[in-house]
Amino acid sequence: MSATPAERAVRSFLDHLAVERGASGHTVAAYRRDLTRYVNFLADRGITDPGAVSSAEVSAFLAWLQTPDGDRVALSVTSATRALAAVRSLHAFLATEGVTADSAAAAVRPPKTPRRLPKALSLEQVQAVLDTPDVSTPAGLRDAALLELLYGTGARISEVLAIDVDEASTLLANPDGGLRLFGKGRKERIVPVGSYARAAMEAWLVRGRPQFAQASSRPSPALLLNSLGRRLSRQSAWQILHGAGEAAHLGVEISPHTLRHSFATHLLDGGADVRVVQELLGHASVTTTQIYTLVTAEHLREVFLSAHPRAR
């Protein structure tokens, strides 16, 4: 069966994202999932041509995403907003390319997202997590390097997993050097790396990585490897984090972003300027970073209420 005009439009847009805008594979995959759902929604209503879509259909799609139906679970406000952003980007692209006269989604506003403060661990909790790897084993040395890099740099999990061994070796050879990371849209930034993360990386490179590397006949350039000698995957990294959280008996779920949130919050608690934290995190806008200042303000309020004799 040949593709419909809407399906061909989505393919063209995804190619544009990957080739012309340099979007990562994860971003393209996320857009593909959301837009496939959108195209199927339109097809169920007899619409296969993007030129026939109006803002009413886009609004109906947004409402459908947030309404449970049988076995289908309603999406959260955040997920629905992300899906709408994909649809709006698609229609804006089609209008720019002259495929449609205008963007059918331009007037559709996303649902209001409730402000949720990032969950940051305390210093004691972070230390408990960092203490969990068994550094007498190659896997433990690798896990320690992963955890120390995530908390020590505030990097995204994808950024840490993308580090190659040559980059790490260059860093370790230069005490004053920084680590080169590539964020969203392949935007490059240099972040300083403290002594704990450096020590964990060096221990892994010297005592752990060689054993994992020999498991593969095709050497991998990656810093962090799995037991087969291949680059550590996101799924494996999440499992390592989950296991560390359980081993530390935190009583809460942790993720790579938990350590990123904690990194930012602890910097601000220590007096770092929000603009500096913005650069370290690789945020395009300081507005994104400023949510962490709300975490710090809430922490100050809790301390005040618990410690001051006339706070209540």
Give ∠ CA 111-116-117 in degrees, rounded to 5.
150
Does residue 110 sit within a domain? no
**92 and 134 together in one domain:** no
Distance CA 28, CA 19 (A): 10
Q: How many domains does the chain have?
A: 2
80 occurs within a structural domain: yes
Closest to 223 measured CA to CA, from 187, 284, 180, 261: 180
Residues 36 and 147 in one domain: no
Q: Are residues 238 and 282 in the same domain?
A: yes
Answer yes or no: is 114 within a domain.
Answer: no
Convert the pLDDT of each residue in 232-288 to its tens digit.
999 999 999 999 999 999 888 888 888 998 998 898 888 888 888 888 888 877 776
- Domain stops at, among 42, 77, 96: 96
**In the predicted structure, residue 110 carries a pLDDT above the cut 90:** no
Q: Catalytic residue positions?
A: 156, 184, 257, 260, 283, 292
- The number of angstroms, rounded, from the C-alpha of 275 to the middle of its chain's C-alpha atoms is 20
Cross-strand bridge partners of residue 178:
192
pLDDT higher than threshold 60 for residue 311: no
Model pLDDT for residues 58-82, shown as the tens digit of each residue: 999 999 999 988 778 888 888 899 9
pLDDT on residue 270: 84
Residues forming a β-bridge with 231: 225
> Cα separation of 190 and 178, whole Å?
6
CATH number of domain containing 77: 1.10.150
Please check whether residue 148 lies inside any domain of the structure. yes
Could you tell me if 176 and 270 lie in one domain? yes
- Claim to verify: residue 218 and residue 80 sit in the same structural domain: no
Domain span including residue 197: 123-305
Do 88 and 140 belong to one domain? no
Buried-exposed string 41-50: b where 16+ CB fall within 10 A, e elsewhere? bbeeeebeeb
Say if residue 198 is in the same domain as residue 154.
yes
Residue 113 belongs to a domain? no
Task: Give CA 97 to chain center in angstroms.
Answer: 30
pLDDT tens string 33-66 = 999 999 999 999 999 999 999 999 999 999 999 9
pLDDT value of residue 113: 64
- The string of pLDDT tens digits covering residues 170-208 is 999 998 889 999 887 778 899 999 999 999 999 999 999
Q: CA angle, corner 207, sides to 204 and 212, nearest 5?
A: 75
Same domain, 13 and 154: no
Residue with tokens 């803002």: 55
Share of the chain above pLDDT 90, in %: 59
297 in any annotated domain: yes
Give the torsion sign (CA, 57, 63, 64, 69).
negative
Same domain, 76 and 202: no
CATH of the domain at 190: 1.10.443.10
To which residue do tokens 């990386």 refer?
A: 201
What pLDDT is attached to residue 298? 62
Same domain? 86 vs 139: no
Q: Which of 133-142, 173-182, 303-312 has the highest mean pLDDT?
A: 133-142
Report which residue type is found at 235: Q
- Give the distance between the most distant pair of CA atoms in the chain: 74
User: What DSSP letter does each residue of the chain carry, written as one string?
Assistant: -PPPHHHHHHHHHHHIIIIIS---HHHHHHHHHHHHHHHHHHHHTT---GGG--HHHHHHHHHHHTS-BTTBPPPPHHHHHHHHHHHHHHHHHHHHTTSSSS-TTTTPPPPPPPP-------HHHHHHHHT-S-TTSHHHHHHHHHHHHHHHH---HHHHHT-BHHHHHHHHH-TT-EEEEE-GGG-EEEEE--HHHHHHHHHIIIIIHHHHHTT-SS---BSSB-TTSSBPPHHHHHHHHHHHHHHTT-SS---HHHHHHHHHHHHHHTT--HHHHHHHHT-SSHHHHHHHHHHHHHHHHHHHHHH-TT--
Residues 177, 276 within the same domain: yes
Residue 310 lies in a domain: no
Q: Is residue 134 part of a domain?
A: yes
- pLDDT band of 290, cuts 50, 70, 90: confident
Q: Which amino acid is at 62?
A: L
Residues 145 and 81 in one domain: no
The tokens describing 52, both together, are 């026939």
